[in-house]
């Protein structure tokens, strides 16, 4: 086997063992869609179905735990399982912040600081244990545990910080979405042109997509007199869930083709 073939084989094995997807354009699109669903579907369950924040949190938390069991038991990245976990963790992260704010009266300033500290502690423990925060090497259960815990706190932090900025500046849903989209674009430019650390750029952008998705969700779902487009939580959730499903199907088909090509004799 030539050195080139060996290198290709090593890269394919490494990629197939990684439990999470690479941050491609499709990754970020689904992430924002899932974040939007986290905002609108949580509101739908709590308000439209009259479950309330507490009952909705229990139901969604239970579903998340079940899906994460399948995610951890999987031997490789499976688009359907992974992105279902992201959608559910987006909903749960939103509900955690909403519970603390609405049910316990904790100010958004406090929850923002607490979740920022919690996320920093997770990152510190992750790095101390694994010497890396890279998502390109999520190949063990311990690393995957740190990964999902970090994801949960990014959603909770993004919800708290996003609501704090939106309420404090009173910009409206559309302008807020543009603000967060601009912040993500700045992170991308800093990574591309100013050599910002790739891992830092990823996690900052990941946090910022939460308030971006929430602003988009509110803009689409809220009544026109309140500054939205009036699609409602049902219509918005259905629209974005359909888009997520279509992208997951496309990713699953692509993955099957790649696995089939990897199993064929290498030239």
Would the pLDDT of 20 be above 60?
yes
- pLDDT, average across residues 38-48: 81
Q: Which residues contact 161 (CB under 8 A, 6 or more apart)?
A: 112, 116, 207, 211
User: Which pLDDT does position 262 carry in this prediction?
Assistant: 64
Taking the domains of the chain in order of start, what are their residue ranges? Answer: 24-260
Q: By C-alpha distance, which of 60, 69, 122, 124 is closest to 93?
A: 60
Rounded distance between C-alpha atoms, residue 252 and residue 258, angstroms: 10
* pLDDT per residue as tens digits for the range 45-90: 887 778 888 888 999 999 999 999 999 999 889 999 999 999 999 9
Rounded distance between C-alpha atoms, residue 17 and residue 132, angstroms: 17
Going along 39-117, which residue ranges are E strands? none
User: Which pLDDT does position 263 carry in this prediction?
Assistant: 61
109: its two tokens: 């300033």
SS (H, E, C) 170-235: CCCHHHHHHHHHHHHHHHHHHHHHCCCCHHHHHHHHHHHHHHHHHHHHHHHHCCHHHCCCCCHHHH
User: What is the radius of gyration, based on Cα positions, of the chain?
Assistant: 19
| pTM: predicted TM-score of the whole model, two decimal places | 0.87
């Amino acid at each position: 086997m030539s050195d080139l073939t060996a290198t290709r084989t090593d890269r394919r094995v490494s990629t197939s063992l990684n439990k999470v997807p690479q941050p491609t354009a499709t990754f970020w699109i689904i992430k924002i869609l899932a974040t939007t669903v986290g905002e609108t579907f949580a509101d739908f369950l709590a308000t439209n179905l009259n479950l309330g924040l507490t009952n909705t949190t229990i139901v969604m938390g239970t579903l998340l735990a079940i899906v994460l069991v399948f995610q951890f038991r999987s031997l490789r990245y499976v688009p359907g399982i992974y992105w279902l976990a992201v959608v559910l963790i987006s909903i749960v992260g939103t509900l955690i912040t909403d519970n603390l704010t609405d049910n316990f009266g904790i100010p958004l300033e406090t929850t923002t600081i607490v979740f920022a500290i919690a996320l920093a502690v997770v990152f510190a423990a992750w790095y101390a244990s694994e010497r890396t925060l890279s998502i390109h090497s999520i190949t063990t259960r311990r690393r995957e545990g740190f990964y999902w815990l970090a994801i949960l706190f990014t959603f909770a932090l993004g919800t708290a910080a996003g609501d704090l900025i939106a309420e404090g500046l009173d910009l409206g849903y559309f302008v807020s979405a543009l603000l967060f989209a601009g912040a993500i674009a700045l992170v991308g430019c800093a990574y591309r042109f100013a050599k910002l650390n790739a891992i830092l750029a990823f996690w900052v952008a990941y946090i910022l997509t939460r308030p971006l998705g929430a602003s988009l969700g509110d803009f689409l779902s809220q009544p026109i007199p309140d500054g939205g487009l009036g699609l409602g939580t049902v219509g918005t959730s259905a629209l974005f869930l359909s888009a997520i499903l279509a992208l997951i199907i496309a990713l699953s088909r692509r993955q099957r083709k790649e696995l089939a090509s990897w199993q064929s004799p290498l030239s």
